[in-house]
């Protein structure tokens, strides 16, 4: 019965898809990509409620941890980088090992204890890396991706190559998810998926017109659901980014 329907109305369905495709395409392309933490945690979920309650009681700091190769970065350059990053609109303050050391020294902490505290916190235990800790401001929390991009630009401005610095932290994960799950990447994945589906449908039905009609109708229905359902937008973003290997999104080394 279904096959007879498609055989009878396949031409009508084809023209319906062709005529509605420009509108659906423009509407689907206008949907923004949003990988912020709030998007991953639905408002009604128990995890989101606990997360908001924790922030209300104890506050929440989001940081960008910057690891620099200590054999190529001296203290003077590290302080210059720290100062430039701290001047960014999305950064509230930036801590370097020397700044942390000076604060501990003001509180009368002995020198040997300062080194012990900094080891593993701001300096790698094998002294291969030194760490800068950039705390995000309110603006940075609202624009995590732009803030991470600005930090990278400042590091490049200071002539520090990608191989010589390593970033970690929740904002970095958000930025990497946005990069890996952007429209260009999704479009390639979508086209490959369509090709595979078409081959499978064609193998089952053995009729190219019917296969194209079924595939086109399915794509059209998907586009309509993306365009008309705001709730589906969040689900679509979640489903698109979930399979990405999170452990590979940050180029960080353990301090």
Give the CATH number for residue 114.
Answer: 3.30.70
Dihedral sign, Cα of residue 176, residue 180, residue 183, residue 184 = positive
pLDDT given for residue 255 in this prediction: 39
Q: Are strands 63-69 and 129-136 parallel, antiparallel or unpaired?
A: antiparallel
Distance between CA atoms of residues 46 and 50, nearest Å: 6
Mean pLDDT of 66-86: 87
Q: Do 156 and 185 sit in the same domain of this protein?
A: no
Residue 173 reports pLDDT greater than 90: no
93 and 189 housed in the same domain: no
Identify whether residues 21 and 131 lie together within a single domain.
no
pLDDT at 167: 92
Q: Are residues 201 and 119 in the same domain?
A: no
**Which pLDDT does position 254 carry in this prediction?**
36
Of residues 108 and 234, more confidently modeled? 108
pLDDT digits (tens, 9 = 90+) for 14-39: 787 778 777 777 776 676 666 666 66
- pLDDT for 91: 93
d(CA 133, CA 197): 47
What is the radius of gyration, based on Cα positions, of the chain?
Answer: 25
Tell whether 254 is covered by a domain.
no
Is the residue at 54 inside a domain?
no
Residue 41 lies in a domain: no
> CA angle, corner 106, sides to 165 and 123, nearest 5?
20
Per residue in 207-228, pLDDT (tens digit) is: 787 777 777 777 766 665 555 4
- pLDDT score of 42 more than 60: yes
Is the pLDDT at 56 greater than 70? The verdict is yes
Comparison of pLDDT for 146 and 5, the residue scoring more: 146
Residues in the chain, total: 255
- C-alpha pair distances (Å), 42 with each of 36, 50, 181, 244: 11, 12, 19, 19
Domain co-membership, 147 together with 232 = no
**Percentage above 70 pLDDT, the chain:** 75
Say yes or no: 64 and 149 in one domain.
yes
Residues 197, 159 within the same domain? no
Q: Give domain status of residue 165, yes or no.
A: yes
pLDDT band at 247 (very low <50, low <70, confident <90, very high): very low
- Can you give the residue range of the structural domain that contains 223? 2-33+181-246
**DSSP summary character for residue 51:** H
Residue finishing a domain among 156, 179, 202: 179
**pTM > 0.95: yes or no:** no
236 pLDDT above the threshold of 50: no
Same domain assignment for residues 104 and 200: no
What is the model's pLDDT at position 244? 33
The number of distinct structural domains making up the chain is: 2
């Amino acid at each position: 019965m279904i096959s007879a329907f498609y055989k009878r109305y396949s031409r009508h369905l084809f023209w319906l898809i062709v005529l509605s495709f420009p509108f659906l395409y423009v509407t689907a392309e206008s949907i923004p990509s949003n990988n912020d933490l709030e998007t991953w945690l639905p408002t009604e979920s128990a995890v989101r409620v606990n997360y908001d309650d924790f922030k209300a009681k104890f506050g929440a700091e989001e940081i960008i941890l910057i690891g620099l190769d200590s054999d190529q970065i001296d203290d003077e350059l590290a302080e210059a980088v720290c100062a430039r990053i701290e001047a960014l609109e999305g950064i509230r303050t930036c801590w370097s090992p020397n700044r942390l050391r000076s604060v501990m020294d003001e509180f009368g902490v002995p020198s040997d204890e300062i080194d012990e505290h900094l080891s593993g916190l701001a300096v790698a235990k094998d002294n291969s890396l030194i760490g800068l800790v950039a705390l995000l401001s309110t603006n940075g929390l609202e624009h995590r991706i732009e803030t991470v991009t600005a930090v990278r630009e400042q590091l490049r401005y200071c002539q520090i190559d990608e191989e010589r610095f390593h970033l970690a932290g929740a904002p970095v994960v958000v930025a990497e998810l946005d990069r890996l799950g952007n429209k260009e990447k999704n479009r390639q994945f979508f086209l490959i998926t369509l090709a595979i589906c078409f081959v499978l449908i064609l193998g089952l039905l053995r009729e190219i017109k019917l296969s194209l009609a079924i595939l086109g109708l399915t794509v059209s229905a998907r586009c309509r659901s993306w365009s008309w359902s705001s709730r589906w937008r969040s689900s679509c973003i979640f489903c698109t980014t979930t399979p990405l290997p999170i452990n590979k999104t940050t180029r960080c080394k353990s301090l």
